Amino acid sequence: MLEVRDVLKSYDGRAVVNRVSFDVAPGEIFALLGPNGAGKTTLIRMITDILKPDAGTIRLDGHDVASGSRAGIAYLPEERGLYRRIKAVETLAYYGELKGLRPAAARQQAQALLERVELSEWALKPVQSLSKGMQQKVQLCTALIGEPRLLILDEPFTGLDPLNTQLFEELLAERRAAGCTVLLSTHQMNKVEQLCDRALMINRGHMVLYGTVRDLRRQHSEHAVLVRTASRVGRVPGVKSVESNNGETILTLERSTTTQSVLRALLDQGVEVESFEVASLPLEDIFVKVVREGLGLDHGQSGPPVAEPVGAGVS
């Protein structure tokens, strides 16, 4: 649905986004990751045609975003902003009309959205009388109204309590089921693991990771297995270390050791194995590791990070 090809954007001779390419499939929830200053916001602004790339192409449904296809894109920026003295329902209806809805249809959608986010009783209240959490829900509704084909969300979970976080997740699932594609930019790696199919990470403008979330985690695993067992795990041939905690044991393997040989050895020891799986690093640990390596903090080096795409097909 979204095709970004070899996109470049520079300021004062410095590439803020440096030859970035990726695809987002229809109905996918795709994560855009990176540390502060990595170029994520600049990339999003080019996708929404707020900024023009110096080179490369950005297409939505096969058409250049500058040709008018951006009408199907909705963008919730990290910097929130609402008309504070206008009633909540009128605020949403206004955004709906900006997106091409007739006034009656815009107001009908606005009322339905407010009901869905549990704000129907506040529909006729000015935005400034709503709590911060309520205003965040209204802000999300400004992106949802008009039923966009591509929904771009920049840090949508920031400041939300657990109940409203769950509500936002339900709304994303509903929109996805209805065929909407989501591009999610966030620093909350647990949400990426929970919600997203694939991810792209950029650092200092360069692509450094790209692929399915599962593949990214496995690619950066420490060649280890996670075993759930109530038995004590003793010395196992080919295993460098054994760490046990609350019924879970992580076995870090020698590079030449296979997982099959470890499982066989455990069973030969009489260990009652409840589950046995390849261990993978949390995405947050991978994020920190890749950024530190890119900054030369782990190896005493500096310079741009190296692109590291893996299995980029949709799983």
CATH number of the domain within which 89 lies: 3.40.50.300
174 and 60 in a single domain? The answer is: yes
pTM more than 0.75: yes
138 and 229 in a single domain? The answer is: no
56 and 180 in a single domain? The answer is: yes
195 and 232 in a single domain? The answer is: no
28 and 141 in a single domain? The answer is: yes
What's the domain range around 97? 2-216
Give the residue carrying structure tokens 């782990």.
Answer: 298
164 and 67 in a single domain? The answer is: yes
- Pair 64, 57: CB distance under 8 Å: yes
Query: Does 286 fall in a domain?
Result: no
- Pair 196, 212: CB distance under 8 Å: no
138 and 243 in a single domain? The answer is: no
Query: Does 188 fall in a domain?
Result: yes
Query: Does 189 fall in a domain?
Result: yes
20 and 105 in a single domain? The answer is: yes
Query: Does 292 fall in a domain?
Result: no
User: 170-225 pLDDT, tens per residue?
Assistant: 999 999 999 999 999 999 999 999 999 999 999 999 999 999 998 888 777 767 88
Query: Does 312 fall in a domain?
Result: no
**Ordered per-residue pLDDT tens for the chain, 315 residues:** 999 999 999 999 999 999 999 999 999 999 999 999 899 999 999 999 999 999 999 999 999 988 877 778 999 988 878 999 999 999 999 999 999 999 999 999 999 999 999 999 999 999 999 998 899 999 999 999 999 999 999 999 987 889 999 999 999 999 999 999 999 999 999 999 999 999 999 999 999 999 999 888 877 776 788 899 988 888 899 998 888 877 788 888 888 899 999 999 999 999 999 999 888 778 888 888 888 887 654 443 334 433 444 444 433
88 and 26 in a single domain? The answer is: yes
- DSSP state, residue 256: T
| 3-state SS assignment for residue 126 | strand
Residue count of the chain, please give it: 315
Q: Which pair of structure tokens corresponds to residue 253?
A: 């393997």
209 and 237 in a single domain? The answer is: no
- Pair 213, 196: CB distance under 8 Å: yes
Q: Which of 179, 197, 216 is the last residue of a domain?
A: 216
Measured CA to CA, the distance from residue 163 to residue 208 in angstroms comes to 34
Measured CA to CA, the distance from residue 48 to residue 64 in angstroms comes to 11
Q: CB under 8 Å to 13, separation ≥6 — which residues?
A: none
Q: CB under 8 Å to 262, separation ≥6 — which residues?
A: 225, 236, 238, 239, 251, 253
170 and 235 in a single domain? The answer is: no
How big is the CA angle at 57 (ends 11 and 212), to the nearest 5 degrees? Answer: 95
Domain count, the chain: 2
Q: Which of 163, 196, 216 is the last residue of a domain?
A: 216
Query: Does 270 fall in a domain?
Result: yes
Query: Does 204 fall in a domain?
Result: yes
- Pair 110, 89: CB distance under 8 Å: yes
143 and 261 in a single domain? The answer is: no
Measured CA to CA, the distance from residue 119 to residue 130 in angstroms comes to 10
- DSSP state, residue 304: P
Query: Does 59 fall in a domain?
Result: yes
